[in-house]
Each structure stands twice: as structure tokens, then as C-alpha cells.
Amino acid sequence: MADFVYYVGSSVDGFIAQEGGNLAWLDKFDNVEGLGESYRSFEEGVGCVVMGGETYQWIREHHPGEWSYRVPCWVFSHHELSADDGADVVIVRGDVAEFADELRLAAGGRDVYIVGGGDLAGQFLAAGLVDRIVVTFVPEVLGGGVPLFGAQPLPEARSFRLVGLEQRDGTVELDYRLADG
């Protein structure tokens, strides 16, 4: 069965983007040996991606005319959005839990990649739909911005266990799996 995986980069103070979605602070880490390989290896196991409307709009604005996902993409948004030509994009509204079975089906037995943003990841976490968190902390302190999991309150604490750790040129990739009941 497909796992729901939140794979993300974060500042050490827990922000995935600066205010307004700015990701320029991450650019200096693009050439850290092993980071790209880690992402490509993860991506090979992905059958479906999910993202929020703001993340979707950011991607379209910063990469016009190119859609990098080759698997179905589901966008959770309260706004009217359109899909680029040739992109396999489904725009949905509603509680993430309502779509869990459809996302698993779309993933075809592979993982569902929670791209972001933090608010959407928090919704999946609050709904009990995050099986794995892979977060790469980079040695930057932003002091504010988009929190790693948004501001979504959890109905109960979730426990994860560390299953992998990679240090690369000042960055630390932590791979957590949902702890057994």
C-alpha cells in the first residue's frame, strides 16, 4: 500500500520558505553532494504528488511552461486554478482525508509525495495520513516564514521513529517513519 511521505527542506528553525514563498535561501545548497541523488532516489518510488494551491502557483510562476512531475498531481485549493497543457493535474477542494483512498489509487501502489506547503502537510498530519517524514535541515535561520507543518493543531500527538540519517556538507537529512501503535 502507498505511503504518504512529506519530503521537504527546512531551515534549522523550522521554516520551509520565507514570507511570500521565497526559496532563494535554499539555492546555495543546490550543489551539496548527495542531496540531488537522495531526491531522485525518493522520486523513483512516487506514484502521485499532492500540493497546496500556493505551492502550485509558485511552481507555475517560477517555472513557466515546464511541468516537472511525470505522475498525477492533486492540488488542494480554495481558488479557481487551471492546469497547464500536458500536466496531469487534478484541482480539488475539501478535507484531505476525503481523498486518501483516491490518492492511494492514483499512486498505483507507490508513494504519495506531499510536496507542500507546510499548511497542507499539517492537514495530512492532523488527519493521520503521514507515514513518513524526510526532512533535510540546512544551516540557515530564517526567523519566520512558512512553518514546516503550518499551524494545524493535532487532535493527538504523532510518534515517529528515526530510520535514516545522512550528513552532507552542513545539511542533515532525517528520515522518520510513523512509529507502530
List, for residues 94-152, the tens digit of each pLDDT value: 999 999 999 999 999 999 999 988 999 999 999 999 999 999 999 999 999 999 999 87
- β-sheet bridge partners, residue 75: 51, 91
CA angle in degrees (0–180, nearest 5) for 81-87-90 = 50
The DSSP letter of residue 60 is: H
Torsion sign (Cα): 166, 168, 172, 176: negative
| Per-residue confidence band for 45, with pLDDT thresholds at 50, 70 and 90 | very high
CATH number of the structural domain 4-19+32-150? 3.40.430.10
What's the helix, strand, coil split of the chain in %, to 5? Answer: 30, 30, 40
SS3 115: strand
Q: Do the strands 89-92 and 73-76 form a parallel or antiparallel pair, or are they unpaired? A: parallel
| Per-residue confidence band for 49, with pLDDT thresholds at 50, 70 and 90 | very high
Cell of 31: 550543489
Model pLDDT for residues 59-110, shown as the tens digit of each residue: 888 888 888 899 999 999 988 887 776 778 999 999 999 999 999 999 999 9
Global pTM?
A: 0.94
> CA of 18: how far to CAs of 25, 62, 71, 139, 140, in Å?
8, 15, 28, 15, 11
Provide Rg for the chain, Cα atoms.
Answer: 16
Domain ranges, ordered by start, for the chain: 4-19+32-150
| Per-residue confidence band for 180, with pLDDT thresholds at 50, 70 and 90 | confident
* Helix (H) or strand (E) segment spanning residue 50: strand 46-52
